[in-house]
Amino acid sequence: MRVWVDQDLCTGDGLCEEIAPAVFRLLDDGLCYVLDAGEVLSGGGSEALASVTSTHEDAVREAAEECPGECIFLVDDAAAAEDGAAGNTAAEGGAAA
């Protein structure tokens, strides 16, 4: 699974960081960003797509469901690989995750 955050939708609530601190980080601008191998992907948006270890998948799904801004988007690696031939990305966002 991979994850990214749409900072344009982020409310800065911080629930994501509270639920999955190994994956999400609020920065000084008050917005959430994803961590990949402990490094903040500060580019933001779908350009900042972070890998999620199986250890953190449940917490990331919970964070996406609880996010009031519905700004967390999940990409299922298996579905993305299947859709890759068609050029599609399997993404889910917010409570729909």
Domain boundaries, the chain: 2-96
Sequence letter at residue 60: V
Predicted pLDDT of residue 78: 76
Pick the CATH number of 2-96 from 3.10.450.350, 2.40.30.10, 3.90.1150.10, 3.30.70.20: 3.30.70.20
Q: What is the pLDDT of residues 52-93, one digit of tens each?
A: 999 999 999 999 999 999 999 999 887 666 665 444 333 455
Q: What is the mean pLDDT of the chain?
A: 85
Predicted pLDDT of residue 41: 92
pTM (two decimals)? 0.80
